[in-house]
Amino acid sequence: MHLSGFLLALLSAASLISAAPVKNRASDIDQELPDGLPYPSPSELALVEQHAHGTLPNTSPPPVVSNKGITNLRLIAFNELFEVAFFNELVTNITENVEGYRFSDPDDKNLVVASLEAILAQEELHAIRANNALSHFHVNPIEPCQYFFPVKDFDSALTLASKFTDVVLGTLQDTIERFALGHDYDLAREIAAIIANKGEQQGWFRMQQGKIPSELPFTTTGDLNFAFTAVQRFVYPGSCPNINEIPLRTFETLEILTSLGPKSQNITFSFQDWTNETSKLWMTYINQQNLPIVEHLDIVSHSGNTIVATALFPYDDHELNGLTISAVTRKEGPFGDANDVAKWTLAGPGLIIIN
Protein backbone atom coordinates (compact mmCIF):
# COMPACT_ATOMS: atom_id res chain seq x y z
CA MET A 1 0.00 0.00 0.00
CA HIS A 2 1.35 3.42 -0.90
CA LEU A 3 0.79 6.13 1.62
CA SER A 4 -1.10 8.84 -0.11
CA GLY A 5 -0.85 12.43 1.05
CA PHE A 6 -4.43 12.05 2.12
CA LEU A 7 -3.66 9.18 4.44
CA LEU A 8 -0.67 11.00 5.89
CA ALA A 9 -2.84 14.04 6.54
CA LEU A 10 -5.43 11.84 8.15
CA LEU A 11 -2.86 10.18 10.38
CA SER A 12 -1.23 13.37 11.52
CA ALA A 13 -4.67 14.78 12.26
CA ALA A 14 -5.37 11.63 14.24
CA SER A 15 -2.20 12.09 16.27
CA LEU A 16 -3.61 15.36 17.58
CA ILE A 17 -6.39 13.54 19.38
CA SER A 18 -4.59 13.24 22.66
CA ALA A 19 -6.94 10.70 24.23
CA ALA A 20 -6.08 8.15 21.55
CA PRO A 21 -2.95 6.03 21.99
CA VAL A 22 -1.35 7.23 18.80
CA LYS A 23 2.16 7.19 17.46
CA ASN A 24 2.98 8.85 14.19
CA ARG A 25 6.36 7.54 13.17
CA ALA A 26 6.36 6.72 9.47
CA SER A 27 7.66 3.20 10.18
CA ASP A 28 4.52 2.49 12.18
CA ILE A 29 2.13 3.42 9.44
CA ASP A 30 3.82 1.99 6.36
CA GLN A 31 1.92 -1.25 6.58
CA GLU A 32 0.92 -3.77 4.05
CA LEU A 33 -0.73 -7.08 4.79
CA PRO A 34 1.16 -10.15 3.57
CA ASP A 35 0.27 -12.45 0.65
CA GLY A 36 -1.93 -9.94 -1.16
CA LEU A 37 -4.46 -9.74 1.67
CA PRO A 38 -7.28 -8.86 1.90
CA TYR A 39 -7.64 -9.99 -1.73
CA PRO A 40 -4.98 -12.60 -2.53
CA SER A 41 -4.59 -13.95 -6.07
CA PRO A 42 -5.14 -17.71 -6.58
CA SER A 43 -1.38 -18.35 -6.41
CA GLU A 44 -1.00 -16.23 -3.27
CA LEU A 45 -3.91 -18.11 -1.69
CA ALA A 46 -2.28 -21.46 -2.56
CA LEU A 47 0.86 -20.32 -0.74
CA VAL A 48 -1.12 -19.21 2.32
CA GLU A 49 -2.84 -22.61 2.46
CA GLN A 50 0.53 -24.32 2.29
CA HIS A 51 1.83 -22.22 5.22
CA ALA A 52 -1.43 -22.77 7.14
CA HIS A 53 -1.07 -26.55 6.84
CA GLY A 54 -4.63 -26.64 5.48
CA THR A 55 -7.21 -25.11 3.21
CA LEU A 56 -10.18 -22.78 3.17
CA PRO A 57 -13.38 -24.83 3.49
CA ASN A 58 -14.51 -25.76 -0.04
CA THR A 59 -18.19 -25.65 0.92
CA SER A 60 -20.39 -22.63 0.15
CA PRO A 61 -21.99 -20.54 2.85
CA PRO A 62 -25.80 -20.90 3.00
CA PRO A 63 -27.92 -18.87 0.52
CA VAL A 64 -29.31 -16.48 3.13
CA VAL A 65 -28.11 -14.97 6.37
CA SER A 66 -29.68 -12.87 9.13
CA ASN A 67 -28.65 -9.29 9.90
CA LYS A 68 -27.10 -10.52 13.15
CA GLY A 69 -25.15 -13.03 11.07
CA ILE A 70 -23.77 -10.26 8.82
CA THR A 71 -22.62 -8.32 11.90
CA ASN A 72 -20.85 -11.45 13.15
CA LEU A 73 -19.00 -11.90 9.86
CA ARG A 74 -17.99 -8.24 9.75
CA LEU A 75 -16.64 -8.32 13.30
CA ILE A 76 -14.76 -11.56 12.59
CA ALA A 77 -13.17 -10.06 9.45
CA PHE A 78 -12.32 -6.84 11.34
CA ASN A 79 -10.63 -8.79 14.11
CA GLU A 80 -8.84 -11.31 11.89
CA LEU A 81 -7.31 -8.58 9.71
CA PHE A 82 -5.90 -7.02 12.87
CA GLU A 83 -4.47 -10.39 13.92
CA VAL A 84 -2.90 -10.87 10.49
CA ALA A 85 -1.16 -7.49 10.78
CA PHE A 86 0.05 -8.35 14.29
CA PHE A 87 1.44 -11.81 13.55
CA ASN A 88 2.99 -10.62 10.30
CA GLU A 89 4.88 -7.89 12.15
CA LEU A 90 5.88 -10.32 14.90
CA VAL A 91 7.28 -12.87 12.42
CA THR A 92 9.13 -10.06 10.63
CA ASN A 93 10.63 -8.77 13.90
CA ILE A 94 11.94 -12.22 14.77
CA THR A 95 13.25 -13.16 11.33
CA GLU A 96 14.96 -9.77 10.99
CA ASN A 97 16.54 -10.10 14.46
CA VAL A 98 15.06 -6.85 15.69
CA GLU A 99 16.34 -5.93 19.16
CA GLY A 100 14.13 -7.60 21.78
CA TYR A 101 13.22 -10.39 19.32
CA ARG A 102 16.57 -12.23 19.20
CA PHE A 103 16.97 -15.86 20.25
CA SER A 104 20.25 -17.28 21.47
CA ASP A 105 19.32 -20.85 20.52
CA PRO A 106 18.74 -21.31 16.76
CA ASP A 107 16.54 -24.37 17.36
CA ASP A 108 14.28 -22.30 19.64
CA LYS A 109 14.07 -19.63 17.01
CA ASN A 110 13.23 -22.10 14.24
CA LEU A 111 10.38 -23.62 16.22
CA VAL A 112 9.01 -20.21 17.20
CA VAL A 113 9.13 -18.94 13.62
CA ALA A 114 7.55 -22.13 12.25
CA SER A 115 4.78 -21.90 14.86
CA LEU A 116 4.08 -18.23 14.20
CA GLU A 117 4.18 -18.59 10.42
CA ALA A 118 1.49 -21.28 10.65
CA ILE A 119 -0.58 -19.11 13.02
CA LEU A 120 -0.22 -16.12 10.69
CA ALA A 121 -1.38 -18.13 7.66
CA GLN A 122 -4.26 -19.68 9.63
CA GLU A 123 -5.43 -16.19 10.64
CA GLU A 124 -5.16 -15.11 7.02
CA LEU A 125 -7.53 -17.92 6.04
CA HIS A 126 -9.99 -16.96 8.80
CA ALA A 127 -10.01 -13.36 7.50
CA ILE A 128 -10.41 -14.44 3.87
CA ARG A 129 -13.20 -16.85 4.74
CA ALA A 130 -15.19 -14.20 6.64
CA ASN A 131 -14.77 -11.66 3.85
CA ASN A 132 -15.64 -14.27 1.18
CA ALA A 133 -18.84 -15.01 3.10
CA LEU A 134 -19.70 -11.29 3.15
CA SER A 135 -19.16 -11.07 -0.62
CA HIS A 136 -21.28 -14.19 -1.07
CA PHE A 137 -24.11 -12.38 0.74
CA HIS A 138 -23.55 -9.27 -1.47
CA VAL A 139 -22.19 -7.23 1.41
CA ASN A 140 -18.94 -5.23 1.27
CA PRO A 141 -15.94 -7.08 2.69
CA ILE A 142 -14.19 -5.39 5.61
CA GLU A 143 -11.06 -3.46 4.61
CA PRO A 144 -7.92 -3.48 6.78
CA CYS A 145 -6.89 -0.48 8.89
CA GLN A 146 -3.44 0.82 9.79
CA TYR A 147 -2.38 -0.74 13.09
CA PHE A 148 0.13 -0.17 15.87
CA PHE A 149 1.04 -2.53 18.69
CA PRO A 150 2.17 -1.41 22.15
CA VAL A 151 4.92 -4.04 22.38
CA LYS A 152 8.68 -3.91 22.02
CA ASP A 153 9.97 -7.42 22.62
CA PHE A 154 9.00 -11.07 22.20
CA ASP A 155 7.63 -11.46 25.74
CA SER A 156 5.37 -8.41 25.61
CA ALA A 157 4.21 -9.43 22.12
CA LEU A 158 3.21 -12.89 23.36
CA THR A 159 1.47 -11.44 26.40
CA LEU A 160 -0.55 -9.22 24.10
CA ALA A 161 -1.29 -12.15 21.75
CA SER A 162 -2.56 -14.12 24.73
CA LYS A 163 -4.81 -11.24 25.77
CA PHE A 164 -6.48 -10.64 22.43
CA THR A 165 -6.78 -14.36 21.77
CA ASP A 166 -8.59 -14.76 25.09
CA VAL A 167 -10.96 -11.95 24.12
CA VAL A 168 -11.64 -13.60 20.76
CA LEU A 169 -12.19 -17.02 22.35
CA GLY A 170 -15.02 -15.40 24.32
CA THR A 171 -16.30 -13.29 21.43
CA LEU A 172 -16.65 -16.28 19.11
CA GLN A 173 -18.93 -17.89 21.70
CA ASP A 174 -21.11 -14.82 21.28
CA THR A 175 -21.07 -15.12 17.48
CA ILE A 176 -22.25 -18.73 17.71
CA GLU A 177 -25.13 -17.68 19.95
CA ARG A 178 -26.05 -14.81 17.61
CA PHE A 179 -25.93 -17.15 14.61
CA ALA A 180 -28.24 -19.46 16.52
CA LEU A 181 -30.64 -16.59 17.34
CA GLY A 182 -30.63 -15.56 13.66
CA HIS A 183 -31.23 -19.16 12.49
CA ASP A 184 -27.84 -19.12 10.73
CA TYR A 185 -27.15 -22.64 11.89
CA ASP A 186 -25.09 -23.42 8.77
CA LEU A 187 -22.46 -20.91 9.88
CA ALA A 188 -22.07 -22.04 13.49
CA ARG A 189 -19.96 -25.16 12.95
CA GLU A 190 -17.07 -23.35 11.27
CA ILE A 191 -16.84 -20.91 14.18
CA ALA A 192 -16.47 -23.85 16.54
CA ALA A 193 -13.60 -25.06 14.33
CA ILE A 194 -11.95 -21.62 14.55
CA ILE A 195 -12.35 -21.57 18.35
CA ALA A 196 -10.50 -24.88 18.58
CA ASN A 197 -7.70 -23.55 16.37
CA LYS A 198 -7.33 -20.43 18.52
CA GLY A 199 -7.46 -22.52 21.69
CA GLU A 200 -4.46 -24.50 20.42
CA GLN A 201 -2.64 -21.25 19.66
CA GLN A 202 -3.45 -19.98 23.13
CA GLY A 203 -2.02 -23.09 24.77
CA TRP A 204 1.25 -22.43 23.02
CA PHE A 205 1.24 -18.67 23.88
CA ARG A 206 0.69 -19.63 27.51
CA MET A 207 3.52 -22.18 27.53
CA GLN A 208 5.83 -19.49 26.15
CA GLN A 209 4.96 -17.43 29.25
CA GLY A 210 5.73 -20.31 31.62
CA LYS A 211 2.04 -21.01 32.30
CA ILE A 212 0.18 -24.29 32.03
CA PRO A 213 -1.39 -24.57 28.56
CA SER A 214 -5.08 -24.95 29.43
CA GLU A 215 -6.46 -21.85 31.09
CA LEU A 216 -9.96 -22.64 32.32
CA PRO A 217 -12.50 -25.47 32.17
CA PHE A 218 -15.05 -23.06 30.58
CA THR A 219 -13.24 -20.15 28.95
CA THR A 220 -14.48 -16.64 29.72
CA THR A 221 -17.29 -15.48 27.50
CA GLY A 222 -17.60 -12.09 25.82
CA ASP A 223 -19.67 -9.80 23.68
CA LEU A 224 -19.05 -8.59 20.12
CA ASN A 225 -19.09 -4.96 21.27
CA PHE A 226 -16.22 -5.53 23.72
CA ALA A 227 -14.07 -7.09 20.98
CA PHE A 228 -14.97 -4.28 18.57
CA THR A 229 -13.80 -1.72 21.14
CA ALA A 230 -10.69 -3.71 22.11
CA VAL A 231 -9.39 -4.04 18.53
CA GLN A 232 -9.82 -0.31 17.94
CA ARG A 233 -7.15 0.36 20.57
CA PHE A 234 -4.65 -0.94 18.01
CA VAL A 235 -5.79 1.05 14.99
CA TYR A 236 -4.94 4.58 13.98
CA PRO A 237 -8.15 6.57 14.33
CA GLY A 238 -9.53 7.31 10.90
CA SER A 239 -7.50 4.58 9.14
CA CYS A 240 -10.29 1.97 8.79
CA PRO A 241 -11.96 2.47 5.40
CA ASN A 242 -15.33 0.93 6.28
CA ILE A 243 -15.47 0.46 10.03
CA ASN A 244 -18.68 2.51 9.93
CA GLU A 245 -20.39 -0.47 8.26
CA ILE A 246 -19.98 -2.50 11.46
CA PRO A 247 -23.06 -1.71 13.58
CA LEU A 248 -21.50 -2.27 16.98
CA ARG A 249 -20.82 0.04 19.91
CA THR A 250 -17.46 1.52 20.87
CA PHE A 251 -17.13 2.08 24.62
CA GLU A 252 -14.95 4.54 26.46
CA THR A 253 -11.45 3.28 27.26
CA LEU A 254 -11.03 1.58 30.62
CA GLU A 255 -7.47 1.34 31.89
CA ILE A 256 -6.64 -1.04 34.75
CA LEU A 257 -3.81 0.65 36.67
CA THR A 258 -3.09 -2.04 39.29
CA SER A 259 -1.07 -5.11 38.42
CA LEU A 260 -3.06 -7.97 39.84
CA GLY A 261 -2.21 -11.24 41.50
CA PRO A 262 -4.27 -14.29 42.51
CA LYS A 263 -5.89 -12.71 45.58
CA SER A 264 -8.77 -10.42 46.43
CA GLN A 265 -7.61 -6.84 46.27
CA ASN A 266 -8.82 -3.32 45.63
CA ILE A 267 -7.82 -2.23 42.17
CA THR A 268 -7.44 1.23 40.68
CA PHE A 269 -8.56 2.08 37.17
CA SER A 270 -9.25 5.11 35.02
CA PHE A 271 -11.83 5.86 32.40
CA GLN A 272 -13.48 8.71 30.54
CA ASP A 273 -16.94 9.86 31.40
CA TRP A 274 -18.61 12.53 29.32
CA THR A 275 -21.95 12.21 31.05
CA ASN A 276 -21.01 13.21 34.63
CA GLU A 277 -23.32 10.58 36.05
CA THR A 278 -20.63 9.26 38.32
CA SER A 279 -22.87 8.61 41.26
CA LYS A 280 -24.55 5.88 39.24
CA LEU A 281 -21.63 3.73 38.16
CA TRP A 282 -20.45 0.23 39.13
CA MET A 283 -17.55 -2.06 38.30
CA THR A 284 -18.71 -5.32 36.70
CA TYR A 285 -16.62 -8.42 36.03
CA ILE A 286 -17.24 -11.22 33.53
CA ASN A 287 -15.31 -14.42 34.19
CA GLN A 288 -15.78 -17.97 32.86
CA GLN A 289 -19.44 -18.92 32.24
CA ASN A 290 -20.65 -17.41 35.49
CA LEU A 291 -23.12 -14.63 36.22
CA PRO A 292 -21.38 -11.23 36.06
CA ILE A 293 -20.12 -9.90 39.39
CA VAL A 294 -20.93 -6.31 40.35
CA GLU A 295 -18.86 -4.28 42.84
CA HIS A 296 -19.18 -0.78 44.26
CA LEU A 297 -17.00 1.77 42.57
CA ASP A 298 -15.37 4.55 44.63
CA ILE A 299 -14.17 7.63 42.82
CA VAL A 300 -10.64 8.70 43.76
CA SER A 301 -10.32 11.69 41.47
CA HIS A 302 -12.21 13.43 38.73
CA SER A 303 -10.35 15.83 36.51
CA GLY A 304 -12.04 17.04 33.36
CA ASN A 305 -13.71 13.94 32.02
CA THR A 306 -11.10 11.52 33.36
CA ILE A 307 -12.10 9.56 36.41
CA VAL A 308 -9.84 7.46 38.57
CA ALA A 309 -11.69 4.97 40.74
CA THR A 310 -11.21 1.86 42.84
CA ALA A 311 -13.25 -1.28 43.30
CA LEU A 312 -12.78 -4.68 44.84
CA PHE A 313 -11.52 -7.46 42.57
CA PRO A 314 -13.04 -10.40 44.47
CA TYR A 315 -10.65 -13.15 43.36
CA ASP A 316 -10.96 -15.36 46.44
CA ASP A 317 -14.75 -15.63 46.41
CA HIS A 318 -15.04 -16.55 42.73
CA GLU A 319 -11.80 -18.26 41.63
CA LEU A 320 -11.25 -15.48 39.09
CA ASN A 321 -8.58 -17.21 37.04
CA GLY A 322 -7.92 -16.74 33.35
CA LEU A 323 -9.46 -13.81 31.53
CA THR A 324 -11.73 -11.41 33.37
CA ILE A 325 -13.47 -8.75 31.30
CA SER A 326 -14.16 -5.71 33.45
CA ALA A 327 -16.57 -2.94 32.56
CA VAL A 328 -17.79 0.24 34.23
CA THR A 329 -21.57 -0.08 34.06
CA ARG A 330 -24.42 2.35 34.49
CA LYS A 331 -26.45 -0.26 36.30
CA GLU A 332 -25.92 -2.26 39.44
CA GLY A 333 -27.29 -5.41 37.84
CA PRO A 334 -28.06 -8.13 38.44
CA PHE A 335 -26.85 -8.99 34.92
CA GLY A 336 -27.95 -12.22 33.29
CA ASP A 337 -24.99 -12.51 30.93
CA ALA A 338 -22.19 -10.70 29.08
CA ASN A 339 -24.59 -9.19 26.51
CA ASP A 340 -26.59 -7.68 29.34
CA VAL A 341 -23.39 -6.14 30.76
CA ALA A 342 -22.45 -4.71 27.35
CA LYS A 343 -25.87 -3.04 27.08
CA TRP A 344 -25.14 -1.06 30.25
CA THR A 345 -21.43 -0.46 29.75
CA LEU A 346 -19.94 3.00 29.80
CA ALA A 347 -16.23 2.07 29.69
CA GLY A 348 -14.52 -1.22 28.92
CA PRO A 349 -13.32 -3.79 28.36
CA GLY A 350 -10.57 -3.71 30.99
CA LEU A 351 -8.70 -6.96 30.47
CA ILE A 352 -7.31 -8.91 33.41
CA ILE A 353 -5.61 -12.31 33.16
CA ILE A 354 -4.67 -14.17 36.34
CA ASN A 355 -2.71 -17.41 36.07
Write out the residues near ligand NAG by the rule CB under 6 A.
86, 89-90, 93, 98, 100, 149, 151-152, 157, 264-266, 274, 276, 304, 312
Q: By C-beta, is 161 or 342 nearer to ligand NAG?
A: 161
CB of 12 to ligand NAG, least distance (A): 19
What is the torsion angle, in degrees rounded to the nearest 10, for the CA atoms of residue 220, residue 224, residue 227 and residue 228?
-170
* Concatenated DSSP letters of 56-67: ---SPPPS---H
Q: By C-beta, is 86 or 335 nearer to ligand NAG?
A: 86
Q: By C-beta, is 46 or 257 nearer to ligand NAG?
A: 257
CB of 204 to ligand NAG, least distance (A): 16
Q: By C-beta, is 181 or 299 nearer to ligand NAG?
A: 299
Contact 61, 69 (CB under 8 A): no
CB of 96 to ligand NAG, least distance (A): 9
CB of 59 to ligand NAG, least distance (A): 33
Contact 266, 313 (CB under 8 A): yes
Tell me how crowded residue 178 is: count the other CB atoms within 10 A of its CB. Answer: 23
DSSP state at residue 330: S
Q: By C-beta, is 33 or 90 nearer to ligand NAG?
A: 90
Q: By C-beta, is 154 or 179 nearer to ligand NAG?
A: 154
CB of 164 to ligand NAG, least distance (A): 11
CB of 175 to ligand NAG, least distance (A): 25
In degrees and rounded to multiples of 5, residue 329 shows phi and psi of: -115, 155
Residue 214 CB-half CA count within 13 A: 4
**Selection from 320, 318, 313, 351 nearest residue 170 by Cα:** 351
CB of 208 to ligand NAG, least distance (A): 13
Q: Is the peptide bond before 144 cis (omega within 30 degrees of 0)?
A: no
**Using N-to-C axis directions, what is the helix angle for 185-208 and 67-95, rounded to 10°?**
30
Q: By C-beta, is 96 or 107 nearer to ligand NAG?
A: 96
- C-alpha distances (whole Å) from 202 to each of 133, 161, 167, 206, 319 are 26, 8, 11, 6, 20
